[in-house]
Amino acid sequence: MKKTFLVAVLTLMGSAVFAQSGSGFGIKAGLSYNKNGDLIGSVGDAGQNIVEGAEGKAGYHVGFWGKLDFPKIYLRPELVYSKTKSSYNVDGASNDYDISKIDLPVLLGYKLIGPLHVFAGPAFQYTLKNDLGDLEVEDVENDFSVGLNVGVGVNLGKIGVDVRYERGFSENEAEFIGNNITDISGRVDSRPSQVIFALSLKL
């Protein structure tokens, strides 16, 4: 009796764990912690140089994913709307740098053991909008850019949980200027460096 019960429990657990296995598609959402690159500028007529590193802040993302499943590997493209935020202390004032973008990661995954898997791949990014608080900021130098996603995940039933690191490959700067032209001007590196926590659901 005990053996029968144990087998039944293990069978149910196994089917739940692998329910998100196999080809399919679904939705996802999550939170991120992002820091952009340095802000480099000059203040006043004297051209006093400043270099200010970003302070990380929380962001979020929502999107869709698809999956082609093979015995030990899988291919998973995603289409995601992302909102990232970081902060700069410029001339005594804190300015949040908000970026909205569309991400298209194309991930190649490897199944380690049971529900545990690792993945990596390029992330193609298109910047929709960027805003730097009270400062007037232009569009980024390149609307399209490429980054890298590396992470680890676990599948539990139709639910998947993963954590990944995303990094932009090259600088993608935007120029900015204060409301008063003599106050401050410069450029800010829009390249992302973020840790992303995601929850996905297979439909």
pLDDT band at 8 (very low <50, low <70, confident <90, very high): very low
Q: What is the DSSP letter of 135?
A: B
Mean pLDDT (the chain) is 83
Average pLDDT over residues 138-147: 85
pLDDT for the residue numbered 13: 39
Average pLDDT over residues 158-170: 92
pLDDT in tens, 28-68: 999 999 988 888 777 665 556 777 788 889 999 999 999 99
Describe the strand order of the beta sheet including 184-189 as a list of residue ranges: 48-52, 39-43, 184-189, 173-177, 136-137
Q: What is the DSSP letter of 19?
A: G
Cα separations (Å) of 172 from 4, 59, 86, 142, 183? 61, 19, 15, 6, 24
Strand partners, 34: 57, 194
Q: Where are the domains of the chain?
A: 2-202
- Whether domain 2-202 has CATH 1.10.760.10: the reply is no
Token pair in block for residue 179: 């409301």
Buried/exposed code over 64-81 (b: 16+ C-beta within 10 A; e: otherwise): ebebebeeeebbbbbebe
pLDDT in tens, 82-101: 999 988 887 677 888 899 99
pLDDT: which is higher, 123 or 9? 123
pLDDT in tens, 168-191: 887 777 888 776 655 677 888 888
Please choose, from the candidates 123, 128, 76, the residue with its C-alpha nearest in 3D space to the C-alpha of residue 104: 123
pLDDT band at 12 (very low <50, low <70, confident <90, very high): very low
Chain-centroid distance, C-alpha 138: 22
